[in-house]
Each structure stands twice: as C-alpha cells, then as structure tokens.
Amino acid sequence: MFLPSNLIVLYMLTFKIPTPKEFSFDRCFEFLLRSPKELLHQCADNKVIKLVRINGKDILFEMFWAGDQSLQVDILNGSITKAEKTELQLFIEEWFDLITDLKPFYTLARKDSLLKDLVQKFHGYRIIGQPDLFESLVWAVLGQQINLQFAYTLKQRFVETFGEKITFKNQPYYLFPQPEVVSHLTDEHLLPLQFSRQKSKYTALIAQAFVNGEISKQKLAGLPLAEAKEMLMKIKGVGNWTANYALMKTFRYPDAFPLEDAGVHNAIKNLKKLKAKPTLDQVRRQFKKYKGWEAYATLYLWKSL
C-alpha cells in the first residue's frame, strides 16, 4: 500500500553535520573531558555520547569527528524521524556554537597582544554551551565560591538523585533534573548532598520561577542583553555574574561575560605578568578592545589557565 507523500515519515540511524573551517573537535572534546564526574555526557575514544529529550522522546546519540569537515551522529537507542533529526541537529549546532562565524574574532584577536598567541594555539575552540537555560542557571549557582571539581561533585549528586535516566548496554545515561521536580526540593533534600543552605534555596527558587512561568528560554530569546539580564536578576540568587554566565552559555550574547570572574582576572595577570590581579576598571578597559566579542575573549582567556 502506498502512503500519500505528506504522510511518509523517514526514519534514520545516522547523519552528518557540516562544520565551519574554524572548528576544532579536538579542542572542544578537551573541554568535555574536564571532569570524570560529569554525568550529562560521556567521552571515550574521541566520541561523545549524550542523552537528550526531544518532543518528549529520549534520544541517546554518539557523535565523533568524521574527518571530512563534519561531525557524524549515530542514534544508539532506536531510530529517529526526519523532524527529530532536524531538532537534534539544531541542538548540536547550538551546543557547539557551530553557527557563529569566528573569522572576525580571529582577525581582531591576531592584532591583540593578549589574545594573539592564544587564538593560534587553540584555533577552532568554541563556546561549548548549555542550550537548557535552567541547567545553565543552576550550574552557575552550584559553581559559586567553590572550586570546579567540588562543583562537579555537587552536580553529580544532584543529577544522580533527581535526574531521569535510561540504561543502554548496562550503562546509565542521565537528563538534568526538571524544574517541576526541583521546585519542590528543600534543605531536607539538598543539604545531604553537601549543598549549602544558600545554594539549596537559590536552586529551588530558580526552578519555581520556571514552573510559574516567570522565566523561560522563549521569554528571553531575542531580548537585548540589558533586558535579559534584568529579567534573570529578578530571581533571588541570580546576580550579575550568574546572569552573564547563563546568557553567554545559553544564548551566546557576545557581550555577556562575567566581568568579576576570578579566572579572567588570573588570566590577565598571568599573560601581562602583573604582580597583582587587575582591578575591575583595568578589566573593563581591556575588554573595550573586544567589543562584540567579549564572550569569546573570555573563553580564550579561561583556556590559557
């Protein structure tokens, strides 16, 4: 029996995503390897495995460098429709920031004493984002005033305890906890994971803001930076650093960068061979040179560390 063409659904198990010339899978893979405690993706043999939920369907995929200026994506837990493939490709392009044209940034950076060596050494490195705004905000809160590895410990416990998972070939794969679940959590749930009372409170408040419709990725999409920051900072616990971090990682605002970030200050101190960390005014002056590319300048300064 033949189906009308508008009813035909194409299923697929594998596809490729073209990448710009200014893209290095190896550099991005290095970033994804930052912590063995990371549960939201797994890296081995130069391949990344990740679980995502698209239109209510859990899709487990494996991704690797195909060697022909493209990423190959293999679906591991079944097949996907053409529409689901389109959504998954958009997610990956957003995750690895494949749409941004880095040529203007590299032209600017090659003329800058602070960045010129970094963009040559780490050419093709891109902002590995967090397309989920809720995840981005909670991760920023978890990382406040503690070292990176302890932040990953908190995240690991949080995801294992409250995230959903599937098991594939005896291996668990996790999704970040949903706002609907987290909005009901209290100190009783989070302090045993070694959350501080402040992090516990702020995490629940962020989730409640999503559940109540006060904030969403859709509401912020397309807003000027100042308006987006103002909306985020209405949530208790989301300050200037957290808002800038989330807007940089989720929306790729080029001028959203964490001015107060200790890593940025340390990178400038090291590269300029200063005796002390630069002041906020000195950092502001430095970043005036990077107008429109502040987020990528931040990325490469972080990489220098």
Show which residues are catalytic. Answer: 261
* Rounded CA separation 138/120 (Å): 33
Helix (H) or strand (E) holding 167, with range, is strand 165-168
Q: Are 233 and 220 in contact (CB under 8 A)?
A: no
Q: Half-sphere exposure of residue 90, counting CA atoms within 13 Å on the CB side?
A: 9
What span, in angstroms and rounded, lies between the C-alpha atoms of 89 and 98? 11
- Main-chain phi, psi angles of 10, to 5 degrees: -90, 130
Task: Give me the sign of the Cα torsion angle 242, 253, 294, 300.
Answer: positive
According to DSSP, the residues that pair with 172 across neighbouring strands are 167
State the alpha helices, DSSP H only, in the chain.
25-32, 82-95, 103-109, 116-121, 133-142, 148-162, 179-182, 187-190, 197-211, 217-220, 225-232, 240-246, 262-272, 280-288, 294-304
CA-to-CA distance for 290 and 112, rounded, in angstroms? 9
